[in-house]
Protein backbone atom coordinates (compact mmCIF):
# COMPACT_ATOMS: atom_id res chain seq x y z
CA UNK A 1 0.00 0.00 0.00
CA UNK A 2 2.82 2.39 0.91
CA UNK A 3 4.50 1.69 -2.45
CA UNK A 4 1.31 2.62 -4.31
CA UNK A 5 1.00 5.88 -2.39
CA UNK A 6 4.64 6.76 -3.10
CA UNK A 7 4.21 6.01 -6.81
CA UNK A 8 1.09 8.23 -7.07
CA UNK A 9 2.94 11.02 -5.26
CA UNK A 10 5.83 10.65 -7.69
CA UNK A 11 3.47 11.05 -10.65
CA UNK A 12 1.90 14.16 -9.15
CA UNK A 13 5.27 15.88 -8.93
CA UNK A 14 6.32 15.08 -12.50
CA UNK A 15 6.43 18.04 -14.90
CA UNK A 16 3.22 18.53 -16.85
CA UNK A 17 3.13 16.41 -19.99
CA UNK A 18 5.94 14.09 -18.89
CA UNK A 19 3.84 10.96 -18.40
CA UNK A 20 2.29 10.91 -21.84
CA UNK A 21 5.02 12.86 -23.62
CA UNK A 22 2.56 15.51 -24.72
CA UNK A 23 3.08 19.26 -24.84
CA UNK A 24 6.73 19.23 -25.89
CA UNK A 25 6.28 19.21 -29.67
CA UNK A 26 3.92 21.12 -31.94
CA UNK A 27 3.22 20.09 -35.54
CA UNK A 28 1.27 22.46 -37.78
CA UNK A 29 -0.60 21.31 -39.68
CA UNK A 30 -0.85 17.95 -37.96
CA UNK A 31 -3.10 16.53 -40.69
CA UNK A 32 -1.76 17.24 -44.16
CA UNK A 33 -3.97 16.31 -47.11
CA UNK A 34 -3.52 17.38 -50.71
CA UNK A 35 -5.04 16.46 -54.05
CA UNK A 36 -2.68 16.44 -57.03
CA UNK A 37 -3.91 16.58 -60.62
CA UNK A 38 -0.91 15.57 -62.66
CA UNK A 39 0.22 13.89 -65.83
CA UNK A 40 0.42 10.47 -64.25
CA UNK A 41 2.33 9.05 -67.23
CA UNK A 42 5.34 11.03 -65.98
CA UNK A 43 7.10 8.40 -63.86
CA UNK A 44 9.56 11.00 -62.48
CA UNK A 45 6.86 12.85 -60.52
CA UNK A 46 7.86 13.92 -57.01
CA UNK A 47 4.90 15.25 -55.03
CA UNK A 48 5.57 17.03 -51.75
CA UNK A 49 3.56 17.53 -48.56
CA UNK A 50 4.98 19.86 -45.91
CA UNK A 51 4.52 20.67 -42.24
CA UNK A 52 6.37 22.62 -39.53
CA UNK A 53 7.69 20.91 -36.41
CA UNK A 54 8.34 23.13 -33.36
CA UNK A 55 9.86 22.44 -29.95
CA UNK A 56 7.41 24.00 -27.47
CA UNK A 57 9.29 22.80 -24.38
CA UNK A 58 12.13 24.35 -22.40
CA UNK A 59 14.41 21.40 -23.20
CA UNK A 60 16.57 20.50 -26.15
CA UNK A 61 14.84 17.56 -27.83
CA UNK A 62 16.48 14.58 -29.49
CA UNK A 63 13.78 13.10 -31.69
CA UNK A 64 13.16 9.91 -33.57
CA UNK A 65 10.47 9.68 -36.25
CA UNK A 66 8.93 6.56 -37.76
CA UNK A 67 7.33 6.51 -41.22
CA UNK A 68 4.23 4.29 -41.21
CA UNK A 69 2.44 3.37 -44.44
CA UNK A 70 -1.26 3.00 -43.60
CA UNK A 71 -2.29 2.35 -47.20
CA UNK A 72 -1.01 3.18 -50.69
CA UNK A 73 -1.00 1.79 -54.25
CA UNK A 74 1.48 -1.03 -54.63
CA UNK A 75 3.93 0.82 -56.87
CA UNK A 76 4.23 4.01 -54.82
CA UNK A 77 7.37 5.08 -52.97
CA UNK A 78 7.72 7.68 -50.21
CA UNK A 79 10.62 9.38 -48.46
CA UNK A 80 11.14 11.85 -45.62
CA UNK A 81 13.34 14.97 -45.47
CA UNK A 82 13.98 16.28 -41.95
CA UNK A 83 16.46 18.98 -40.92
CA UNK A 84 19.38 16.53 -41.16
CA UNK A 85 18.93 14.54 -44.37
CA UNK A 86 16.66 13.46 -47.17
CA UNK A 87 16.40 9.72 -46.61
CA UNK A 88 16.08 7.24 -49.45
CA UNK A 89 12.67 5.46 -49.75
CA UNK A 90 13.77 2.21 -48.01
CA UNK A 91 14.65 4.16 -44.81
CA UNK A 92 11.63 4.29 -42.48
CA UNK A 93 13.25 5.97 -39.47
CA UNK A 94 16.12 8.29 -38.59
CA UNK A 95 17.21 6.29 -35.53
CA UNK A 96 17.65 2.53 -35.63
CA UNK A 97 20.39 0.52 -33.94
CA UNK A 98 19.41 -2.49 -36.05
CA UNK A 99 20.11 -0.64 -39.31
CA UNK A 100 23.01 1.46 -37.97
CA UNK A 101 21.15 4.76 -38.38
CA UNK A 102 21.85 7.27 -35.63
CA UNK A 103 20.66 10.70 -36.81
CA UNK A 104 18.27 12.08 -34.17
CA UNK A 105 16.64 15.41 -34.94
CA UNK A 106 18.14 17.90 -32.47
CA UNK A 107 15.69 20.70 -31.75
CA UNK A 108 16.51 23.56 -29.39
CA UNK A 109 13.76 25.17 -27.25
CA UNK A 110 11.50 27.22 -29.52
CA UNK A 111 13.23 26.03 -32.69
CA UNK A 112 11.35 24.78 -35.76
CA UNK A 113 12.09 22.91 -38.96
CA UNK A 114 10.17 22.09 -42.11
CA UNK A 115 9.48 18.41 -42.61
CA UNK A 116 8.89 17.38 -46.22
CA UNK A 117 7.11 14.15 -47.10
CA UNK A 118 7.70 13.02 -50.68
CA UNK A 119 5.29 10.84 -52.63
CA UNK A 120 6.61 9.16 -55.79
CA UNK A 121 3.57 7.64 -57.54
CA UNK A 122 5.62 5.99 -60.32
CA UNK A 123 2.91 6.27 -62.96
CA UNK A 124 0.00 5.08 -60.80
CA UNK A 125 -2.98 7.16 -59.66
CA UNK A 126 -4.53 6.50 -56.27
CA UNK A 127 -4.66 7.49 -52.60
CA UNK A 128 -1.91 7.14 -50.03
CA UNK A 129 -2.29 7.52 -46.26
CA UNK A 130 0.65 7.74 -43.88
CA UNK A 131 1.53 8.46 -40.26
CA UNK A 132 4.75 9.92 -38.87
CA UNK A 133 4.92 9.69 -35.05
CA UNK A 134 7.75 11.33 -33.09
CA UNK A 135 9.49 9.95 -30.01
CA UNK A 136 12.18 11.29 -27.69
CA UNK A 137 15.39 9.25 -27.86
CA UNK A 138 15.47 8.84 -24.08
CA UNK A 139 11.85 7.56 -24.04
CA UNK A 140 11.64 5.57 -27.28
CA UNK A 141 8.18 4.10 -26.65
CA UNK A 142 6.42 7.35 -25.66
CA UNK A 143 4.87 9.14 -28.63
CA UNK A 144 5.16 12.92 -28.21
CA UNK A 145 3.41 14.02 -31.41
CA UNK A 146 2.22 12.68 -34.74
CA UNK A 147 1.51 14.04 -38.20
CA UNK A 148 -0.66 12.31 -40.79
CA UNK A 149 -0.26 12.68 -44.54
CA UNK A 150 -2.78 11.91 -47.25
CA UNK A 151 -2.05 12.26 -50.96
CA UNK A 152 -4.79 11.91 -53.58
CA UNK A 153 -3.22 11.60 -57.02
CA UNK A 154 -5.36 11.81 -60.15
CA UNK A 155 -4.63 12.24 -63.82
CA UNK A 156 -5.04 15.49 -65.71
CA UNK A 157 -7.50 15.55 -68.57
CA UNK A 158 -5.82 15.20 -71.93
CA UNK A 159 -6.58 18.85 -72.77
CA UNK A 160 -5.12 20.15 -69.52
CA UNK A 161 -2.06 17.97 -69.83
CA UNK A 162 -1.35 19.18 -73.35
CA UNK A 163 -1.85 22.87 -72.52
CA UNK A 164 0.74 22.93 -69.75
CA UNK A 165 4.50 22.86 -70.36
CA UNK A 166 5.96 19.58 -69.16
CA UNK A 167 9.20 20.27 -67.34
CA UNK A 168 10.38 17.78 -64.75
CA UNK A 169 13.29 18.34 -62.37
CA UNK A 170 15.06 15.20 -61.22
CA UNK A 171 16.42 14.15 -58.84
CA UNK A 172 14.50 16.37 -56.45
CA UNK A 173 15.66 16.66 -53.67
CA UNK A 174 19.23 16.64 -54.89
CA UNK A 175 22.66 16.87 -53.29
CA UNK A 176 24.86 17.55 -56.34
CA UNK A 177 23.03 18.25 -59.59
CA UNK A 178 19.65 18.14 -61.31
CA UNK A 179 18.44 17.44 -64.81
CA UNK A 180 15.37 18.74 -66.62
CA UNK A 181 13.14 16.94 -69.09
CA UNK A 182 11.32 18.83 -71.84
CA UNK A 183 13.92 21.58 -72.32
CA UNK A 184 13.49 21.73 -76.09
CA UNK A 185 11.31 24.84 -75.62
CA UNK A 186 13.55 26.40 -72.97
CA UNK A 187 16.57 28.67 -73.51
CA UNK A 188 17.66 29.24 -69.91
CA UNK A 189 17.24 27.69 -66.50
CA UNK A 190 17.55 30.29 -63.74
CA UNK A 191 17.93 29.41 -60.07
CA UNK A 192 16.72 31.76 -57.30
CA UNK A 193 16.94 31.46 -53.53
CA UNK A 194 13.82 31.78 -51.38
CA UNK A 195 14.19 35.58 -51.07
CA UNK A 196 14.20 35.96 -54.85
CA UNK A 197 17.92 36.50 -55.43
CA UNK A 198 19.35 34.94 -58.59
CA UNK A 199 22.10 32.47 -57.66
CA UNK A 200 22.78 30.58 -60.90
CA UNK A 201 21.96 30.79 -64.61
CA UNK A 202 22.31 27.87 -67.01
CA UNK A 203 22.04 27.63 -70.78
CA UNK A 204 19.98 24.58 -71.66
CA UNK A 205 20.49 21.57 -73.88
CA UNK A 206 19.24 18.00 -73.76
CA UNK A 207 20.73 15.67 -71.14
CA UNK A 208 22.66 18.44 -69.43
CA UNK A 209 23.35 18.18 -65.71
CA UNK A 210 23.01 21.43 -63.77
CA UNK A 211 25.40 21.32 -60.82
CA UNK A 212 24.36 22.89 -57.50
CA UNK A 213 26.75 21.10 -55.13
CA UNK A 214 28.38 24.46 -54.29
CA UNK A 215 25.11 25.92 -52.96
CA UNK A 216 23.94 25.75 -49.33
CA UNK A 217 21.20 23.27 -48.48
CA UNK A 218 17.71 24.73 -48.73
CA UNK A 219 14.79 25.39 -51.06
CA UNK A 220 15.30 27.10 -54.43
CA UNK A 221 13.04 28.29 -57.25
CA UNK A 222 13.87 27.13 -60.78
CA UNK A 223 12.51 29.26 -63.63
CA UNK A 224 12.29 27.91 -67.17
CA UNK A 225 12.81 30.82 -69.56
CA UNK A 226 12.14 31.20 -73.27
CA UNK A 227 13.76 34.19 -74.98
CA UNK A 228 10.56 34.62 -77.03
CA UNK A 229 7.88 33.99 -74.37
CA UNK A 230 9.58 34.83 -71.07
CA UNK A 231 9.16 32.63 -67.99
CA UNK A 232 7.26 29.50 -68.97
CA UNK A 233 7.07 27.96 -65.53
CA UNK A 234 8.71 28.05 -62.10
CA UNK A 235 9.24 24.94 -59.97
CA UNK A 236 10.78 24.23 -56.58
CA UNK A 237 14.06 22.42 -56.03
CA UNK A 238 15.23 21.09 -52.68
CA UNK A 239 19.02 21.00 -52.19
CA UNK A 240 19.68 18.60 -49.32
CA UNK A 241 22.41 16.33 -48.07
CA UNK A 242 21.44 12.69 -48.46
CA UNK A 243 21.48 9.85 -46.00
CA UNK A 244 21.88 6.50 -47.84
Single residue among 87, 121, 155 that ends a domain in this structure:
155
Parent domain of 178: 165-243
pLDDT band at residue 13 under the 50/70/90 scheme: very low
Assess if residue 28 is contained within a domain. Answer: yes
My answer on whether 31 and 150 are in the same domain is yes
- Please give the Cα distance from 170 to 17 (Å, whole number): 43
Assess if residue 187 is contained within a domain. Answer: yes
Numbers of helices and strands, H then E, in the chain: 2, 21
Single residue among 102, 127, 155 that ends a domain in this structure:
155
Please give the span between the terminal C-alpha atoms of the chain, in angstroms, as a whole number: 53
My answer on whether 88 and 173 are in the same domain is no
Question: What is the predicted pLDDT for the residue at 130?
Answer: 96
My answer on whether 24 and 142 are in the same domain is yes
My answer on whether 183 and 87 are in the same domain is no
List, edge to edge, every strand of the sheet that includes 168-170: 168-170, 177-181, 210-211
Single residue among 120, 155, 190 that ends a domain in this structure:
155
Q: Is the pLDDT of residue 234 over 90?
A: no
Question: What is the predicted pLDDT for the residue at 158?
Answer: 47
The total number of structural domains in the chain stands at: 2
Q: Which of 7-21, 72-86, 174-188 has the lowest mean pLDDT?
A: 7-21
CB atoms within 10 A of CB 130: 21
CATH of the domain at 185: 2.60.40
Question: How much is the average pLDDT of 142-165?
Answer: 76
Amino acid sequence: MNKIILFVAFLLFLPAGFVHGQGVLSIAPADVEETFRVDISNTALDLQLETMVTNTSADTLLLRWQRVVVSQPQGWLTQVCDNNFCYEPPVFTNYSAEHNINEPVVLLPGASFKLIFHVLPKGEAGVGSYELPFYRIEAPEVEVAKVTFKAVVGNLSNTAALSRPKFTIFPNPTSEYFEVSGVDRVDQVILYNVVGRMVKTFQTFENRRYFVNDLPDGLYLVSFVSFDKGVLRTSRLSKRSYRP
